[in-house]
């Protein structure tokens, strides 16, 4: 019978169990704490919530989206994707990220750029890639875009 250890993980590669990192991001060369460390899950979820509320307000103001309406409107999702593509690509941060002290960057520390920001944003909108992550805390959307979300302060 083939064991999972024989195949490795499609998310984390083939890392022997004895080489487990002491903290998330250690294998990526990130510090354990402070600026530049992997962003904690609570801050990432908080930033996502803030961005979603902002995008819903924009959708309501400009596209007639109603909270609690019975129609399935994709306006908030489209605004959310547009916000993420634009701001993450150019600045490496959304409004929610900025408020909670987070920054999206390439592995070399640079801004993701249009390709990285677009890939990351589209996969984030699909939800599932964002909730499957590796031992370093990187979601599939970040791995596919070659990005990591870190603390900025």
Domain spans of the chain?
37-151
Q: Three-state SS for 101?
A: coil
pLDDT category of residue 101 using cuts at 50, 70 and 90: very high
Q: What are phi and psi of 20, to 5 degrees?
A: -65, 135
pLDDT at 5 over 70: no
Q: What is the pLDDT of residue 19?
A: 67
Q: What is the pLDDT of residue 6?
A: 47
61-74 residue pLDDT tens = 988 877 766 555 88
Structure tokens at 2: 């083939």
What's the first-to-final CA gap in the chain, in angstroms?
Answer: 48
The partner residues of 103 in beta bridges, in order of sequence, read 150
Tell me what the mean pLDDT of segment 51-62 comes to: 93
Q: Please tell me the distance from the alpha carbon of residue 122 to that of residue 141, in angstroms, as a whole number.
A: 8
* Residue with the two structure tokens 């520390």: 109
8-52 residue pLDDT tens = 444 555 444 556 788 999 999 999 999 999 999 999 999 999 999
Q: Three-state SS for 9?
A: strand
pLDDT at 107 over 80: yes
Whether pTM exceeds 0.85: no
Q: Please, what is the average pLDDT of the chain?
A: 87
Task: Judge whether 35 and 43 are in contact, CB under 8 Å.
Answer: no
Q: What is the pLDDT of residue 65?
A: 76
Exposure string over 103-123, b if 16+ CB within 10 A, otherwise e: bbbeeeeebbbeebbbbbbbb
Neighbours of 42 (CB within 10 A): 9
Q: Please tell me the distance from the alpha carbon of residue 47 to that of residue 56, in angstroms, as a whole number.
A: 14
For the chain, percent of residues with pLDDT exceeding 70: 84
Task: Please name which of 64, 124, 67 lies closest in space to residue 94, comparing C-alpha atoms.
Answer: 124
32-42 residue pLDDT tens = 999 999 999 99
Q: What is the pLDDT of residue 73?
A: 82
Q: What is the pLDDT of residue 15?
A: 46
């Amino acid at each position: 019978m083939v064991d999972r250890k024989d195949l490795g993980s499609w998310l984390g590669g083939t890392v022997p169990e004895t080489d487990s990192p002491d903290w998330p991001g250690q294998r990526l060369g990130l510090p354990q704490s402070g600026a530049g460390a992997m962003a904690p899950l609570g801050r990432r979820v908080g930033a996502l919530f803030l961005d979603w509320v902002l995008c819903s307000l924009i959708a309501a103001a400009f596209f007639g989206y109603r909270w609690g309406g019975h129609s399935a409107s994709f306006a908030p999702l489209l605004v959310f994707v547009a916000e993420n593509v634009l701001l993450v690509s150019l600045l490496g941060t959304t409004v929610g990220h900025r408020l909670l002290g987070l920054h999206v960057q390439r592995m070399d520390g640079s801004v993701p750029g249009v390709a990285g920001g677009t890939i990351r944003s589209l996969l984030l909108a699909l939800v599932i890639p964002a909730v499957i992550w590796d031992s370093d805390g990187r979601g599939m959307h970040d791995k596919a875009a070659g990005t990591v979300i870190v603390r900025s302060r």
